[in-house]
Structure 1
Amino acid sequence: MDTETLLEKYNVVAPRYTSYPTVPYWDNELFTKEDWLENFKKTYVAHKSEGISLYIHLPFCENLCTYCGCNKRITKNHGVEKPYIQAVLKEWAMYIAILGEKPKLKELHLGGGTPTFFSAENLEILINGITAHAEMVSDAEFSFEAHPANTTAAHLSVLYSLGFKRLSLGIQDFDPHVQFLINRFQTPEQVDEVVKEARRIGYTSINFDLIYGLPGQNLTNLGKTIAQSILLQPDRIAYYSYAHVPWLKAGQRHYSEKDIPVGNEKFALYKLGRQLFIDAGYEDVGMDHFALKSDSLYLASAEQKLHRNFMGYTDQHTHLLLGLGVSAISDSWNAFAQNSKVVETYIDKVENGILPVEKGHILTENDLEIREHILNLMCRAHTVYKNGIPKHIKSRLEPLLADKLIVFDDFRVDITEIGKSFLRNVCMVFDEKLWLKQPQTQLFSSAV
C-alpha cells in the first residue's frame, strides 16, 4: 500500500500514550487520595534504592503562544513567582512528611508554561528548597525547558551550578510568518547565543523542540527552519506533530483551518524533517524524537533501556514519578494522580495543608499488563506475550500486518520501519479502554 493510502487510512484521532490508561479513561469515581497515598508509599518502599523522578510544573508565560496545548497562565506580573514557589515547596514538604525520610532524587525536570519566566534567583530558591530534603543519586539528571527569547546567562549559570546539565529549547519554527500566526518569536541568532553560552558553561545535552503542521508551514519554510536548527547541532530534536484542538484551546482560533497543513501535505512535512535529521546524523529514537549517537537518549534506545512517562522519553527509569505544581501528574506505576488545574485552587489547597490532588486512577492487573505492552512498543518497537498473543489482539493486528506496519507471530509483535510513522495507531490495537468505549467527543489529536 502506498504512503498516501496509508495516511488516508490511519490518520485518525489517537492518544499520544504518555500513560495507559490515557487520562480521559481514568476511573476517577473509584479513585481516592487515600488510595493514591497508599500506592505512593508502597512503590516508594519497594523501589527506594533506585530513586524517584520529580516533575515541577511552572505554568506562567508572559505571552500566549496560540498553538500551545499546555496548562499555562498568561501574565506579565512577576509578583506571582514567589507565592507559587512557596506553594510548590509546601506540597513537596507534605510528601516528605508522608515518606518520613529524604528520598533519593534521580531525575528532576522543570516544565511549563515557561520555566524561564521565573528569575534565576527564584529558581535557585525553588531548587535549593527541593534538594534540601532529598539525596542525590550519582547519575541524577536535571533538565529544564526554556524560551530562547528570555533565557539569560544567569538562568544558565545558576541552574548549572544546581546540577542541571540538560536544556530543552522551545523553538517550534523560525519562519517569521509562522511565528506571527503562533505568536512565538525567537531568531536563530538568539538560539545560537543561548546554545553557545550553555555549551561554554558545560551543559552536556541540548534539545530543540520543533513542530510540524503549524499554520503557515510549507516544505520550503520548514526545510529552512530545520536546516538552521541542524547548523546549531542540538544533541536531541523533538519533532512534534501539531495538535489542532481549538475546542479545548481557544488560542488556536487565532488562525483558521485553511492555514493548517493537513493530510498528505502535513505528512510530507513530517517526512521532510525525518529525512533531513537522518541525513544530518541523527537517529530515530522512539516517537517524535531524534538524537545524535553521542547523546544519552540514543544510547538508552540502543541498549533497550529507553523509558517513557508523563515527561516524555527519558533515559532514566524510575517506578515513582512525583509531579508538583498546578495540573502536575504523578505516577506510582500502579496509580496516577493529577493536581488541581487552576493556579488559585492549587495554592489555596496547599496553603491550607490539603494535598492538591484532584483526580486519578488506580491501575488494575489488566491495566498494568496493557501498560507494559504499550511501553514496550513506544520505547523498543516490539513487545512479547509470554503466554501467547490473545486471539482478539491477533485479529486487530491483521490489518496492520497486511499494510506492513507490523509483523507478528504467536508471541511477539514487531513494528516495521514504515510502521514507526504510525506508532500511535499500533498502540491503539492494545488499548482495551478505547475499544470498549469509543469517545463521544474528540478527545485526542490526529495520529499523523
Structure 2
Amino acid sequence: MNGNEAHPVAGETSTRNRLERGRGALGPALELVHTGRAPTRAVLTAELGVTRATAGAVAAELEALGLIRVDVRPTAATGSQGRPSHRLEIAEQGPVALAAQVHADGFRAALVGLGGRIVATAPGCEIIDPDPAKVLGSVVEAGARLLRETGRRCVGSGLAVPSAVAEPDGTALNPLHLAWPPGSPVREIFAAKIREAGIPGPVFAGNDVNLAALAEHRHGAGRGARDLLCVATGHRGVGGALVLDGRLHTGSSGLALEVGHLTVNPEGRPCHCGSRGCLDVEADPLAFLNAAGRTPGPEVSLLQQALDLIRTQYADPTVRMATEALIDRLGLGLAGLVNILNPDRIILGGLHRALLDADPERLRAVVADRSLWGRSGGVPILACTLDHNSLVGAAELAWQPVLDDPLAALGHG
C-alpha cells in the first residue's frame, strides 16, 4: 500500500465485516420476510440467531438489492414501551416473477412479487388449443405485455398445468383435460417462448395442485404446518399435494400423490385411468352437476357452475343431497390419505372448499370415523385462503433461486 492510498476507518471496517458474516444469512433472511415470519428487525435477529448489528447489515443489503424496505421510524403500538423495532416490508416496486396457469377453460398470466403478492394479472378465457405451443405462446405474450406495462424487473418464470409433471425433463404426462398430447414437453416449450419474448431468468413448470399447496404453505392456510396435505378440484378432476417437514414432496420423479385415482366408489363411474369410482370422476365439478341433475352449460366453467349451484340453490333437496354425496366420497378419500400420511393439517381448494363450507361437520365426521388418526383427536381441515394459489405457487418456483442466494440470482455474486 503506498502513501496515497486511503486506509478504511474503524467504522467502515466493522460494517464490512458484519456484512461479510451476514451474507450467508441473506437467503434465510429474505425467506423469513417473504413468508411473513420476520416483520421486524428484532424478530429477524432472533430467527437468524445473529447479533442485532449483523441483522441490520443483512436487512440493509436486502434493501440495497431492491427486495425489501426497512422502516426505521415505525409507529409504536398503543400502550407499548421502548423504541419500536425497525419494520421489514416487501419493496413495493421490487422485482417480480412471471407466473402462468393453464386450465381447461383458459389461461391466466400474472406478475407476482415477494410475499406472494399479485402485482398484475391478465386472464385469457379462450378455448384451449390442442397444440401446447400455441397456448403457451399466448400466455407468454400476455405476461410480456404485463412486464412492459409495469416496467418491473423479472427474476424468472413459472408455469402451472393440470397434469402430473415429470422431472427432470418437465413433461406433462397426462394433460387429459387440456387435450394436449401425453408427454408434452411443457417446460421446454414454455422456456422457448420466454426466450423468444426476451424475458430474463430461469423457467420452471409444475402441477397446479402441487403449486397451490406450496403457495398456501408459505402464505395461506397451510402456514405453520409441518406435514400438510392439500386436496383440490379445479375445473376438472381432483389433485393432491403434500408438504413434508416444510418442503413440497414430489417423489422421485415429480409424480407423487396422484390422489385423483383413489377409489371411493367401486361401482362408480369409469375413470380415464382404467379403474372405476376414482375421486377424479366422483368428486369433481362435473360429478357434482350430474349428481344434482343439472346439465352443464357452455357459458361458464364447470367449476363456476358447481360453485354457483351450491351458493344459490343449496336449499334445493336435490342440490343438498348431491353435496352430501360428494362430501361423503371426498371424506372417504381423505380418511385413506390420513391413515397413510398422518398429516397435521388438511387444506381444501376449489369445489372441495365449497363442500367444506357447506357442511364442515359432516366432512370432518366422515374423516374422523374412517381414519385411525382421526379417531385419536382429529386432523384440522381448513379451506385454502389464497386467490389464484396455483399462480402464486408457480411464482414461488421462480423466486426460489433468489431465496436461495439473492446476490447470485440478481447478478451481484
TM-score (normalizing by structure 1): 0.29
Structure showing greater Rg? 2
TM-score (normalizing by structure 2): 0.31
Q: Which has the higher contact order (CA 8 A, sep 6+)?
A: 1
